[in-house]
Amino acid sequence: MVSPVHASELPQFSFEERQRRWQRVRHAMAREGMDLLLAPTHTGHWGQLQADVRYLTQLAPNMYEVFAVFPLEGEVVAITRMDSHTEWLRNAYEWVGDVRGLGRRTWSALVIERMHELGVTEQCTQRVGVVGLAQWQPRSPEGIIRYDTMARLKEAFPRIDWVNATGLMNHARAVKSPEEIACLERAGQIADKGVEAMIEHARPGMPAQTLWAHMQAAMLLAGGEYPSMINWDMRPDLSAFARHPTYRLLEKDDFSINEIEGKFNGYNHHTLHPAYLGQAPENYHRAYDAAYEAFEAAQAVARPGNTTANMAQAVEVVFQRHGLQGQFMMLGRGLGEDGPHQTMPTPDGEKPTKLEEGHVFAIRPVTGDVGASGRRFRMWLGDTCVVTPTGARRLSQHKMELAEIPC
């Protein structure tokens, strides 16, 4: 049965955008001597570990499993889990015409079949890149492709030179096009709604899980895609958030640090918005002012030709001037953990990244102080920005502040 879903019903990237991406990746493959690239399915980390599949095909919405076979020359093939889903994926997204279902077979069986169609034989010594064959980003320290899938591929093609293509794809995704930035701005509008809902609904006596639900609902009603990340908690002198909302009842003088992500068409806008239930103490304001000044300092130097090290140095100067201990963090944002990163360990030793116009990342300075409980709180703020010739521009509109919620 043909799916009634039509491409006009869903957000789409243009064929010009497909051409730009495919050329960018194929140029990188040619530089590395790769004849073929495999992007395996993996729906972890809110679907972000499947970012490369989505970048190449537009497929894999709502954490749906898709495996992409991307040759240096020839037709791109997407493999999906169920035969019955192939037609609706072809109708819903226009980039890839050859979508194949697993049926009762395995991922490796269909990949091997496609490689045979491309002329790869048991005796071939080509170089094949595999996204997630090994670590490049800190979220997946041992890669993401299944052991049994990789074992069967190696058995079928014992002379192939299998290489890790995670870094290649991460660099390809890092510089965003105008179409991608437009999606991130829309995701920023969705994140704005999550922030607004937190401030509007937080009240003493409310279960923390209920407030989290208000935030999720606001983002979905604004056109957001599910699932999206909200790492969030609210309690006295908070220094770390829960990975899942608790049923604790909120109280006056609770403090929230958080990571709130709006998602649109797979693109994630990451924001951190501290909030205090009641009137925040003076040292909270002092910590916030220092962190916000550090954020603006990082923005100012985030220009093409400068590096992530320049941004970190600008932040360090601010914290030293305020007499506070602080740290600079940044995470590349887009479909997933796009580069560049700072302060998160990677195999390249965190070498400074030279910034380019179109790089998108969340700037996240953090400091803190000792609260009334005797525990140290963390003042952590941030937002997703794009590198421009004049510095980093925010991609959301909510007011950055230490929100003090009347109660």
The residue ranges of every structural domain in the chain are 7-174, 178-405
Radius of gyration for the chain, computed over Cα atoms and rounded to the nearest angstrom: 23
What is the tally of helices (H) and strands (E) in the chain? 10, 17
Residue 203 confidence (pLDDT): 97
Report whether 385 contacts 362 (CB < 8 A): yes
Residue 157 confidence (pLDDT): 97
Q: Is the pLDDT of residue 1 over 70?
A: no
CA–CA separation, 238 and 24 (whole Å) = 43
Query: pLDDT of 41-51, one tens digit each?
Result: 887 777 777 88
Listing DSSP states for 210-276 in one string gives HHHHHHHHHHHHTT--SS--EEEEEETT--S--SS---PBP-TT-EEEEEEEEEETTEEEEEB--EE
First to last CA, the chain: 56
Place of tokens 């510089």: 175
Q: Is the pLDDT of residue 202 over 80?
A: yes
What number is the average pLDDT over the span 112-132?
Answer: 94
pLDDT grade for 350, boundaries at 50, 70 and 90: low
DSSP state, residue 190: H
What number is the average pLDDT over the span 76-83?
Answer: 90
Residue 388 confidence (pLDDT): 98
Whole-number mean pLDDT of the chain? 91
pLDDT grade for 345, boundaries at 50, 70 and 90: very low
Q: Is the pLDDT of residue 2 over 60?
A: no
Tokens coding 235: 């309690």
What number is the average pLDDT over the span 274-300?
Answer: 98
CA–CA separation, 271 and 194 (whole Å) = 10
Query: pLDDT of 221-272, one tens digit each?
Result: 999 998 888 998 999 999 988 778 899 999 999 999 999 999 999 999 999 9
Which of 199, 215, 201, 204 shows the shortest CA–CA distance to 250?
204
CA–CA separation, 208 and 262 (whole Å) = 19
Query: pLDDT of 20-29, one tens digit each?
Result: 999 999 999 9
Listing DSSP states for 12-51 in one string gives ---HHHHHHHHHHHHHHHHHHT-SEEEE----TTTTGGGH
Protein fold of 178-405 = Creatine Amidinohydrolase (3.90.230)
Report whether 7 contacts 96 (CB < 8 A): no
The angle, 0 to 180 degrees and rounded to 10, between the axes of the packed helices 178-201 and 208-221 is 140
Q: Which CATH class is domain 7-174?
A: alpha beta
Q: Is the pLDDT of residue 341 over 70?
A: no
Which of 203, 303, 198 shows the shortest CA–CA distance to 258?
198
Q: Is the pLDDT of residue 106 over 60?
A: yes
Q: Is the pLDDT of residue 281 over 60?
A: yes
What number is the average pLDDT over the span 319-324?
Answer: 96
Residue 136 confidence (pLDDT): 56
Query: pLDDT of 124-148, one tens digit each?
Result: 999 999 998 886 556 677 788 889 9
